[in-house]
Amino acid sequence: MKGYLVSLALVIVVAMTALSSANAGATQAQRVYSWGDPWGGGDPKGLQYYGPTQVNGTPDTIVQISTSNSTSYALTKSGEVWAWGVGRAGALGNGSMMKSTTVPVRVKFPKGVKIASLPSPMPFDTGMAIDDNGNIWGWGSNVEHSLCKQKGNLSYPVKLPFSHVTQASGAGGHGLYVSDGKLYACGGNTAGELGDGSTAPSTRPVAVVGLPKESIRAIGSSWENSGALMADGSYYDWGYNNAGQLGNGTTTNSDTPVRVNLPTKAEQVSLGGSSAENGQTVAILTDGSLWAWGQGGTGQIGDGKVANSTAPTRVDVPSGVSFDRVISGGSTVYGIDSSDAVWAWGQNNVGQLGFGASSALSDRPSEVGIHLSCVSSTAANVVGLTAGQSHCNS
């Protein structure tokens, strides 16, 4: 198993207080919550937190959150990015290799750079951000050259070789980038996750082949898997497939995109998975139904069974509940319903469902007991943002 596979987890809840400024007036109080494994398996003492831990926050209203396996990120209204976590390989982006698990630190971009959005998720121990000029920046591990740079660890953000970037995503050792309306990939390619018709790794951007001529609505990634939701509601994925992650009824990897046969058009899709032992995708369709496929050994398909599914299977959503957003982590899936209540299902061996303590897995959606507008999860590191002036990743 590769050294960078992400382990599971502990629970820590982070509440950030909003500050007021002379120029902007009083800002609306917002809170960021983090649970799961913000250490990415990097805590030598095995320290675990099952209750809320408050962290004094950022100096501006938070509008977006994102995660890598062991570091979390928050984008402020003014275009700054703040980070907290283990910070291995420079993932904090402030020039330090020291961890900062309880106090956010500012990621140090060159003067004049204003960040507009954060990709979600991000590659292993690696951060990414898109500025308001369409440039994309990367820092941290750059594992398997997922940032399209031949250099190793990057302790400060560097500009990546793309322009007019509208979307990006990454996981494990690869990254995906929508530049000038076209999809490119870099990094490791063991299972064909670059989607270029080969299994050869690449330190330079390669074009993903085989997608229809529709525009790309959203992209996603997980360990050795990639996916694209098209403007017409069709969904394609490619890469690793040992448990049916591609949703095409087989367990054979694919180095080019394959279309998933869904009952109707997809509205939102999220990939998850952090190792060869997990990996599942969940989708909200235009009729409001929820479907999942792939690894189900810890109940993450959400149909009341503990079994893999090589084709889309309907999630057993409680009567009267309608999900607006779904997010797939390592072996756990999260949903936000129409009232902003958070639900979770899947693995919970150390409490990553967010219920506050270690307990059995959940093979159907269960309420977490918190209301959030956004959630991001990579492996078992989970962060959520309360309602406010926020925008969530597609």
Tens of pLDDT, residue by residue over 232-277, are 999 999 999 999 999 999 999 999 999 999 999 999 999 999 999 9
pTM here is 0.90
Q: What mean pLDDT comes out for the span 41-47?
A: 53
More confident residue, 369 or 279: 279
Express as a percent the part of the chain with pLDDT over 70.
Answer: 85
Residue 20: per-residue pLDDT: 28
Angstrom distance (rounded) from CA 301 to CA 288: 17
Residue 54 has pLDDT above 50, yes or no: no
> How many CB atoms neighbour CB 255 within 10 A?
19
Complete domains list, the chain, with CATH: 32-385 (2.130.10.30)
Residue 52 has pLDDT above 50, yes or no: no
Angstrom distance (rounded) from CA 305 to CA 295: 11
Beta bridge partners of 293: 281
Residue 12 has pLDDT above 50, yes or no: no
Express as a percent the part of the chain with pLDDT over 90.
Answer: 71
Q: How confident is the model at residue 3 (pLDDT cuts 50, 70, 90)?
A: very low
Residue 315 has pLDDT above 90, yes or no: yes
Q: What mean pLDDT comes out for the span 311-318?
A: 98
Residue 338 has pLDDT above 80, yes or no: yes
